[in-house]
Amino acid sequence: MSLLITDECINCDVCEPECPNTAIYQGDEIYEIDPTLCTECVGHFDEPQCIEVCPVDCIIVDPDNPESKEQLQTKYEKLTAPA
């Protein structure tokens, strides 16, 4: 599943540079995560890096974008495939 940043986000800027897929971006009011780019760090790290650094624990699994670990791995492979 991709991740989701909740309204508790304080715009502290620590999550965005940690995302290896550049899935995190500044939205209108808070940071947001592009579900087409988020792999929960599968293929890069053992744990989602944004969750690791978030000081307010506002990043959760997105219930609207369920994906298995296999689907996340496939997405990672597509995102990192040579052009």
Nearest one of 20, 15, 23, 27 to 52, comparing CA atoms: 15
pLDDT at 4: 97
**Residues contacting 48, CB < 8 A, separation 6+:** 3, 40, 41, 59
Q: How many domains are contained in the chain?
A: 1
Asked whether the predicted pLDDT for residue 1 surpasses 80, the reply is no
Q: CATH number of the domain that 10 lies in?
A: 3.30.70.20
Alpha helix ranges (H) inside the chain: 49-53, 69-80
* CA-derived radius of gyration, the chain: 12
Summarised one tens digit per residue, pLDDT across range 35-73 is: 999 999 999 999 999 999 999 999 999 999 899 999 999
Exposed / middle / buried, residue 69 (Cβ in 10 Å: 0-12, 13-18, 19+):
exposed
Domain extent, residue 66, equals 3-80
Cα–Cα distance, 33 to 49 (Å, whole number)? 13
pTM: 0.93
